[in-house]
Amino acid sequence: MELFSFGLLGLGTGAIYAIFALGLILTYRASGIINFGYGAMILFGVYQFADLRTTGVLVLPIGSIDFGSRPSVLVAFAVVLLHSALLTLVIYALCFRPVHAAPPLARVVVSVGVMLAVQALVLVRFGSVPRSVAPILPNDAVTVLGAKMPADRLYLAGIVIVLAVILGFVISRTRFGMASRGAAENEKAAVLLGYRPQRLAAINWLIAGVGGTAMGILIAPTTSLEAGTYTMLIVPALGAALIGRLSSVPWAVAGGFILGATQSMLLYITQTVPWLPQNGLKQGLPFLVIIIALIVMGNKLPGRGAAEEKLPPAPAGPMRPWLIAVGIVVLAVAIPLLSSQWRLGLITTMTASILCLSLVVLTGYVGQISLAQMSLAGVAGFTLAKIGGNSWMPFPVAMILSAGVATILGVIVSIPALRVRGLHLAVVTIAAAVAIEELIFKNPKFTGGLTGSPVAQPSLFGIELGIRGGGEFPQPVFGYLVLAVASVVAIGVALLRRSSLGRQMLAVRSSERAAAASGIDAARIKLIGATIASFLAGIGGSLMAYQQGQLSFETFSVMTSLLLVAVVYIGGISSVSGGLVAALMFSGGLVSIALDEWLGLGDYESLILAIALVAGAVMNPEGVAGMVHRLKLHRTSGTKTGAEHDSELEGISDQAPVLAGMKEA
């Protein structure tokens, strides 16, 4: 009976999963975008409602409105929903509409950027102090089949079911619903019939934004309102939406309730069965659901014909050994000359370059989107903390073995890539990142809990190579160690681009069918790419562990993984130079220090960076490195036509040259 009671208590959580899933279905059907920022957008409205009801002040993204007194629940509800409608339309018009036909990765980056921007905006405007919302629905105890539960859970479930019935009718029976579905399947045909697909999409986004905020407010009294409360609920909501194949309202709602109830029952089971893991079991359930849904229905999930499955160009560019040597020498000379703060920033940038280059290999070369690279880096870092202090596991063996553990996990996570790619693979990897964080990073036996895990400093042949020791911090010798590893990785990734394996990767990225027709085993190439990328992420995570000395799981949070992808995309995810540019923008790197030192951005740094990421992805899909390369081509090849420039830049825009070059090799 107690297990049944816990299942009923999960109806409230299931209701928010279900309503989030409906919002994701609406926005995906309308514009082909999975809005990872949906939870953060709803969170802002819930915070507005909480503050308006307690202080009488409506906090806006910029400025505020003082009502003079606390408004009633209905007035506050109406005001917040009106603002939610305006905010949703502004975000759609400025961020999502320009990329509705962009490559999947561009849409993912914009979506992630919106999540990070709104999350940072919540922290800037409302702070990090948790809020509480007074009950809105009746919450007296009621008895259902002999089990007691708060009445508000039943009300929430009922409201969601009613909304789902209405939404299902609108989608399947009304002219607007059928036009929206038709525009999603064939945008050009919808235009010829007199419809305006972007207006239809905006209305769908409006419904999703207002409906989600309304349910978020009703749900708020049942949970603690914190800055990250709703943001990562996007993962279980995606699980529910995928149960409905991103199109079926009834199945998505049922999936949401089943997930919520099952998670609640798992909470009871873990409390009563001592040998089960106490952390992360219920949070790992959505990952399992997503994996099963995508493996079973990977080829049946709806797509969007108007969107091109095209990634930014992957130019080879000439390798200039003298320029590489000069760069390494300049960095080597700078390491001991820089102040402590700038030297640490340079070390962070060089370490981050390895993580960025792991994404260049996986996404830029192979075409597989991963939102879990920092999670893999964290697995390597904490593994190093466990084994690095043993005398029988010296440096660099401990670092290599730790990277090997991350590689094994990375290959396992990449197995669904054999069935899906693009946006659906992004869903798998963000779910994997959440599962790793909850199951591994929040397990104090593995990570040391809030105090973190100490990491033994590296030494080789009696020479101390650690970041600490002596009279200065950070030690220059550690900077030289990181410089050596980063240089080898950068040169190796550049050579990979020019190798036969690299050409096969680009062929798979360009067209799996064409690659298979030429004799390339696409599945094998994908797994090789995942292996290399995961190993590089593990090396980067190990160096981060050495750098920090006392490793905390917060370093490898899901948000950090998302930020890494966005930064690398803006830098130029298809080239080594792009990965190096991205490393400059990594948190704690040289650009971060410069902004803090010269502009004093403080709490606004994360918000400004997130806005810059969105703007960069919208206005410059090629990234900084791609833009510079294109400018060089136009400057040095004035006699060529624009089409010739584009063909030369992309390098793989035409499958025939890629496959022909590969055969010649």
Q: What is the pLDDT of residues 98-129, one digit of tens each?
A: 887 777 778 888 888 899 899 889 988 988 88
Please indicate whether residue 307 or residue 435 has the higher confidence score (pLDDT).
435
Residues contacting residue 143 through CB under 8 Å, at least 6 positions apart: none
pLDDT value of residue 305: 46
Q: Is the pLDDT of residue 2 over 90?
A: no
Q: Map out the domains of the chain as residue ranges.
A: 1-276, 321-556
> How long a stretch of residues is the chain?
665
Tokens of 63: 């400025």
CB 473 within 8 A of CB 467: yes
Q: What is the mean pLDDT of residues 356-362?
A: 94
Tokens of 501: 């394996």
Segment among 50-64, 96-110, 138-152, 431-445 with least mean pLDDT:
138-152
Averaged pLDDT of the chain: 83
**Following DSSP, what letter does each residue of 128-165 receive, concatenated?**
SS-B-----S---EEEETTEEEEHHHHHHHHHHHHHHH
| Model confidence pLDDT, tens digit, residues 378-408 | 999 999 988 876 767 788 899 999 999 999 9
pLDDT value of residue 651: 45
**Following DSSP, what letter does each residue of 24-40 receive, concatenated?**
HHHHHHHHS---TTHHH
Q: Is the pLDDT of residue 486 over 90?
A: yes
Q: Is the pLDDT of residue 517 over 90?
A: no
Label residues 85-114 b or e (16+ Cβ within 10 Å = b).
bebbbebbeebbbbbbbbbbbbbbbbbbbb
**Following DSSP, what letter does each residue of 311-357 receive, concatenated?**
PPP-------HHHHHHHHHHHHHHHHHS-HHHHHHHHHHHHHHHHHH
Q: Which of 604, 574, 588, 600 is nearest to 510 (CA)?
A: 574
CA torsion, ordered 308, 365, 117, 303, to nearest 10 deg? 30
Q: Is the peptide bond before 474 cis (omega within 30 degrees of 0)?
A: yes
Q: Is the pLDDT of residue 572 over 60?
A: yes
Q: Which of 240, 220, 223 is nearest to 285 (CA)?
A: 240
CB 431 within 8 A of CB 290: yes
pLDDT value of residue 4: 67
pLDDT value of residue 308: 44
| Model confidence pLDDT, tens digit, residues 628-641 | 666 766 676 654 44
Indicate the helix (H) or strand (E) that contains 459: strand 459-460
Burial of 623 from C-beta contacts in 10 A (0-12 / 13-18 / 19+): buried
| Model confidence pLDDT, tens digit, residues 408-451 | 999 998 887 777 777 778 888 888 888 888 888 888 888 777 77
What pTM value is reported for the model? Answer: 0.84
Angle at 291 between CA 540 and CA 570, to 5 degrees: 40
pLDDT value of residue 159: 92
| Model confidence pLDDT, tens digit, residues 153-210 | 888 889 999 999 999 898 888 888 888 877 777 777 777 777 888 888 899 999 999 9
Q: What is the mean pLDDT of residues 493-506?
A: 91
pLDDT value of residue 89: 95
How far, in Å, CA of 52 to CA of 71, rounded?
7
CATH 1.10.3470 is the classification of domain 1-276 = yes
